[in-house]
Structure 1
Amino acid sequence: MDVREYNREAWNRQVAQGSRWTLPVSPEVIAAARRGEWSVVLTPHKPVPREWFGELQGREVLGLASAGGQQGPVLAAAGARMTIFDNSPAQLGQDRLVAEREGLEMRLVEGDMRDLSAFADGSFDLIFNPASNCFVENVRQVWREAYRVLRPGGVLLSGFCNPIGFLFDPELEKQGTMQLKYRMPYSDFTSLTEEERRRYTDKGEPLCIAHSLEDQIGGQLAAGFLLAGFYEDLHSEGDKLSEYLSPLAATRAVKPAAR
């Protein structure tokens, strides 16, 4: 099973099913953003601190694997020059819908987040990358490409999953019991039996890959970034693991300015 191809079609199906992360923002949200009243998320709940963005007006911002008609249009309405890069044509269509409805200028590009060859070195001032790198292999390649397309002094804002959230028995978890079943490295594509995987594929859901914290945080550092911000967040309501710890996190990473 090809990871990129499967998840592209799965996210197309999520749009058709009206998944939470595919619902375009309302005209009221865009109007508020134009007045300077806005917030966006990298993880399910906590708004990203406004100071993490700095000045948005006129800055070149890449929404990396962040289509769906949500964060990108808000940032565009707040004054950013937005490019949205995503693997799902249907998700990009949600951004197009909002852009056309609200008269926003946004560039929409389809592609694999591990390969940003569509963009020249130093093309962007800021990259906004919500918790989506669990849908690709080799997250270190994502960090290297993000570093390349940022200008010196540019900022990468990224959300990601703590890999421990993928390792428990999902059937027992539904019964309120947290019991480790899988081990790292973990992937829905290779760690599950065919029967187990059908829990997700029969519903057309995306499949995930759990990246280690060494690859998530250490990978950003290895790419050349300096970490300048960090917070944790809970998962969706009813998530048993969230009763014990925060299974998602977000980082603010800076590409050092040229000397």
Structure 2
Amino acid sequence: MSNITHYNQKVWNKKVEENVSYTQPVSKSVIEKSNSGNWEISVTASRKVPRDWFPENIRGMKILCLASGGGQQGPVLAAAGADVTVVDISERQLEQDRRVAERDHLSLKTIQGEMTNLHFLDEESFDLIVHPVANLFIENVRPVWKEAFRVLKQNGSLISGFMNPVLYLFNDDKEAKGILDVQYKIPYSPISTGESDHFTEAGEALEFGHTLEDQIQGQTDAGFLIAGFYEDDFGGIRTVDQYIKTMIATRAIKMGV
């Protein structure tokens, strides 16, 4: 595990203690609705993934929730009848999934591990992968796509959320005050800009702004066909939301030979 990954792991463990939004498990009522077939999930901040991105019935499907701890996507899909495995670097985030599973009598598996190295999973062992916004916390995103392709079955789908790198052009402190000041180049790295201390002193995870080439062409280079695309934002709470949507979701298919 790299120093960056280890640091971000500790930050996310602490975020669970702080009860930030992406660590809050779904409610019992959400699980009850999911049990009856009325389910939905997000891989970005606000918009729900279109239901036609999923098979009509996911009961019995083997689904990998990749870098997806927090008790949100995994329990909903398990309640809908899927055979769910949740992988996350944060043990505390995985505890949230186990907590919901115990509370609502769900069956799901949790594994602590890195999204860039799924050596603990067999090739072609999942029908579907759900990968919400998370790859901003790693330096190199392309291994994620390669590993996802490896563990996905032929004709399986990868549903991913990630950041539009335009977000990382701007100075964060000024943007919080309503000022969009272009200050950085893409790809963005707090290491190369010498600003990692700014994140660590604030107790925030280190974030990386990957190019769209690495995010989208990276998937096709791994062997995927992009079959769906939409955009999302922070729900209007950030200045940049007034001008552009800074989150992207894609559906990619591992085409059969």
Please report the TM-score for the alignment, with normalisation by the length of structure 2.
0.96
Per-residue CA deviations over 1:210-259 (Å, capped at 9, x if unaligned) read 1100000000000000010000001244211110011000000000023x
* SS of aligned partner of 1:33: helix
Q: CA deviation at 1:173?
A: 1.6
The residue correspondences of 1:16-55 to structure 2 (distance < 5 A) are 16-54=17-55, 55=57
SS at the partner of 2:144? helix
Q: CA deviation at 1:201?
A: 2.2
How far off is 1:41 after superposition? 0.3
Q: Which whole-Å CA distance do the structure 2 matches of 1:152 and 1:74 have between them?
A: 24
Instruction: State the Cα distance separating 1:76 from its structure 2 match.
Output: 0.4
Query: How big is the alpha-carbon RMSD for the aligned residues of Structure 1 and Structure 2?
Result: 1.2
Partner of 2:243: 244
Please show how residues 84-99 of structure 1 align to structure 2 within 5 Å: 84-99=86-101
Name the CA distance, whole Å, in 2 between partners of 1:150 and 1:170: 37
Tell me, what secondary structure is at the counterpart of 1:4?
Answer: helix
- Could you tell me which residue of structure 2 aligns to residue 5 of structure 1? 6
2:84, 2:109 within 8 Å by CA — same for their partners in 1?
yes
The residue type equivalent to 1:244 in the other structure is: Y
Q: Per-residue displacement from partner, 1:120-166 (whole Å, max 9, x unpaired)?
A: 11010000000101111211110000000000000000000011101
Q: Aligned residue for 1:121?
A: 123
Matched with 1:226 is 225
User: What stretches of structure 1 of length at least 5 have no aligned partner?
Assistant: none
Residues 206-217 of structure 1: matches in 2 within 5 Å?
A: 206-217=205-216
String of CA shifts for 1:88-138, please: whole Å, max 9, x gaps: 000000001001111111110001100011111101000000010111121
Where does 1:163-182 land on structure 2 (aligned, <5 Å)?
163-182=165-184
- Tell me what 2:201 maps to: 202
- What secondary structure sits across from 1:209 in the alignment? coil
2-structure distance, mates of 1:176, 1:45: 21
Q: Please tell me the residue identity of whatever aligns with 1:181.
A: Q
Unaligned runs of 5+ in 2: none
Report the alpha carbon displacement of residue 203 of structure 1 after superposing the two structures with TM.
Answer: 3.4
Cα offset, 1:167, TM superposition:
1.5
% identical aligned pairs: 45
| Cα deviation, residue 77, structure 1 | 0.2
User: In 1, distance between residues paired with 2:229 and 2:78?
Assistant: 24
SS in 2 for 1:152: strand
Contact in 1 for aligned 2:176/2:238 (Cα 8 Å): no
Letter in 1 for 2:202: K
Larger displacement relative to structure 2 (178-187 or 138-147):
178-187
- Structure 2 counterpart of 1:144: 146
Q: In 1, Cα distance between the equivalents of 2:195 and 2:33?
A: 47
| Separation of aligned partners in 2, 1:168 and 1:3 | 22
SS at match of 1:210: coil
Distance 1:68 1:193 in 2: 28
Q: How many residues align?
A: 255
Letter of the 2:147 counterpart: E
Aligned 1:176-191 pairs, distance under 5 A: 176-191=178-193
Q: Is the 8 A contact 2:168 2:186 kept in 1?
A: no
Shift of 1:192: 3.7
Contact 1:225–1:254 (Cα < 8 Å) also in 2: yes
Runs of 4+ in structure 1 off by over 4 angstroms are none
Does structure 2 retain, via aligned residues, the 8 Å contact 1:82–1:106?
Answer: yes
